[in-house]
Structures are given as C-alpha cells and as structure tokens.
Amino acid sequence: MEANRIDMAENIFRMVKNLSTDVKLELISKITDSLKGTKKEAKDDSWKKLFGAWESEESAEEIIEYIRESRYTNRHIEDL
C-alpha cells in the first residue's frame, strides 16, 4: 500500500514539474487550503463578493434610460 502512495506522488510530481512557477504556487495554495478545510468556506462565501459591486448615485430607471438613449442602430443593408 505504501508503494502505491509513493508511485502516485511520483506520477503527480512528473506532471507538475514542468509547469510555470505561478501555476505551481497556485496548486500549492489549493492543496494547502484543502488540507486546512478552508476551501469549502471560501467557496460558500464567494457569491457575497458580488453583492454591492455596482455603486451609483443614479437610480435604476435613470441608468436604463441612459443606456437606451445611447444605443445606435444603423440599418444600412449592403447590396450583394
């Protein structure tokens, strides 16, 4: 059983050794998080970062009106 673990670790290392440093560091971070058990918590709270992402003093109606007014349509059809 111990030999299988060593072989698996060696196989994974062979796949990883040619990756860039940034990718290796990201992989180390993910493995560390999985060992700590923090990955699940971070994943559960990730949607909360989107809350309040858009801040404006204009109302939704004013923003919609601005978007509609700034649209430009050119219906020129080219001859074939």
Is the pLDDT assigned to residue 62 strictly greater than 90? Answer: yes
Model's pTM, two decimal places? Answer: 0.38
| Residue ranges per structural domain of the chain | 2-69
Q: Report d(CA 66, CA 35) in Å as an integer.
A: 49
Mean pLDDT within 46-62: 78
Q: State the average pLDDT for the chain.
A: 80
Q: pLDDT, tens digit, for every residue of 11-39?
A: 888 989 898 999 999 999 988 888 887 54
The answer to whether residue 41 scores a pLDDT higher than 90 is no
Task: State the Cα–Cα distance between residues 49 and 69, nearest whole angstrom.
Answer: 31
